[in-house]
């Protein structure tokens, strides 16, 4: 890749995922500029080591020499302002460090992976993600430049669709739990996702678990743990197993 005649003032990173930071070194080489600022939000917690190992990364914040953005920081370029404001455009959910960048002169938003040009995005924390969507909705951008896919010309309609889609899934999960003693996430998945092939249940179940964690934060469901012949210490989503290894079931009930 060569970019003859191109001069960069800065590089703005939306979040740590490899498809967003992995090309930094090639870009710097292509423009023959080694010392320009690369802006990013600092990770408050390092992502799961198992996930990082699949990408060959130990700590995303050490991938290159980042300049970490602080609250309400404004990044100025010649003839335009790219505004970072924590309350408005720190948009966790897809990842904890996710940022959107607001181009004030055009009231246009660079949305990273929070809002895509096509389809819906994946997320680490649905509760945070829904709050981030509400923040963006309140910004009322006229245009969205997503990290993937075509430009979003009608942001309000797109964001409202994202929100209603997740709210509908919440309602389906609560309906599945109604009048039931308790159900495992996979049992809920098979009730809610009636139109998918069996080999897709695992991915769908991951989605259901995200919704359940959100509903738990909202006080609408509660999680209980059923274990058989097990000596262990429980942690969120994983266990340390003692000498007597057994089966664990995470059950959810509607409050």
Q: What is the pLDDT of residues 79-122, one digit of tens each?
A: 656 655 433 489 999 999 999 999 888 899 999 999 999 988 88
Contact 228, 193 (CB under 8 A): no
Q: In this predicted structure, what is the pLDDT of residue 97?
A: 94
Q: Tens digits of per-residue pLDDT, 117-152?
A: 998 888 899 999 999 999 999 999 999 999 999 999
Instruction: Give the phi and the psi of residue 165 in degrees, each rounded to 5.
Output: -60, -45
Q: Is the pLDDT of residue 3 over 90?
A: no
Tens digit of each residue's pLDDT (9 = 90 or more) over 193-236: 998 999 999 989 988 999 999 999 999 999 888 754 433 333 33
Predicted pLDDT at 21: 95
The CA R_g of the chain, rounded to the nearest whole Å, is 21
| pLDDT confidence bin for 179, thresholds 50/70/90 | confident
**Tens digit of each residue's pLDDT (9 = 90 or more) over 41-78:** 999 899 989 889 988 899 999 999 999 987 667 887 77
**Which whole-number Å values give the CA distances from 7 to 10, 20, 36, 198, in the listed order?**
9, 20, 10, 51
In this prediction, residues 10-25 reach a mean pLDDT of 94
Of 180 and 175, the structure prediction assigns the larger pLDDT to: 175
Q: What is the Cα–Cα distance from 189 to 53, expressed in whole angstroms?
A: 29
For residue 137, how far is the Cα from the chain centroid?
17
* Domains of the chain, CATH where assigned: 11-153 (3.60.15.10), 177-254 (1.10.10)
Say what the pLDDT of residue 244 is: 39
Task: For residue 242, name the pLDDT band (cuts at 50, 70, 90).
Answer: very low
* SS3 per residue for 222-241: EEEEEEECCCEEEECCEEEE
Please check the confidence at residue 239 and state whether its pLDDT lies above 60: no
Model pTM score: 0.81
User: Would the pLDDT of 182 be above 70?
Assistant: yes
pLDDT value at residue 233: 37
Cβ atoms within 10 Å of 109's Cβ, excluding its own = 26
Instruction: Give pLDDT, residue 224.
Output: 85
């Amino acid at each position: 890749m060569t970019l003859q005649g191109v001069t960069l003032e800065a590089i703005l990173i939306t979040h740590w995922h490899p498809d967003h930071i992995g090309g930094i070194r090639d870009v710097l080489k292509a423009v023959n500029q080694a010392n320009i600022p690369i802006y990013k939000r600092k990770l408050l917690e390092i992502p799961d080591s198992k996930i990082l190992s699949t990408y060959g990364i130990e700590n995303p914040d050490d991938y290159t020499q980042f300049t970490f953005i602080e609250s309400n920081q404004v990044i100025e370029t010649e003839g335009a302002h790219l505004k970072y404001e924590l309350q408005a455009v720190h948009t966790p959910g897809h990842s904890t460090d996710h940022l959107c960048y607001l181009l004030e002169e055009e009231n246009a938003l660079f949305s990273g992976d929070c809002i895509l040009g096509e389809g819906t995005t994946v997320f680490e924390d649905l509760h945070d993600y829904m709050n981030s969507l509400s923040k963006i909705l309140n910004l009322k951008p006229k245009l969205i430049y997503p990290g993937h896919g075509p430009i979003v010309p009608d942001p309000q309609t797109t964001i409202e669709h994202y929100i209603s889609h997740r709210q509908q899934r919440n309602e389906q999960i609560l309906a599945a739990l109604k009048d039931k003693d308790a159900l495992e996430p996979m049992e809920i998945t098979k009730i809610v996702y009636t139109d998918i092939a069996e080999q897709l249940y695992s991915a769908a179940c991951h989605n259901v678990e995200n919704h359940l964690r959100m509903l738990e934060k909202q006080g609408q469901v509660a999680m209980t743990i059923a274990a058989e012949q097990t000596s262990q210490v429980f942690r969120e989503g994983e266990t340390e197993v003692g000498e007597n290894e057994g089966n664990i079931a995470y059950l959810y009930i509607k409050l």
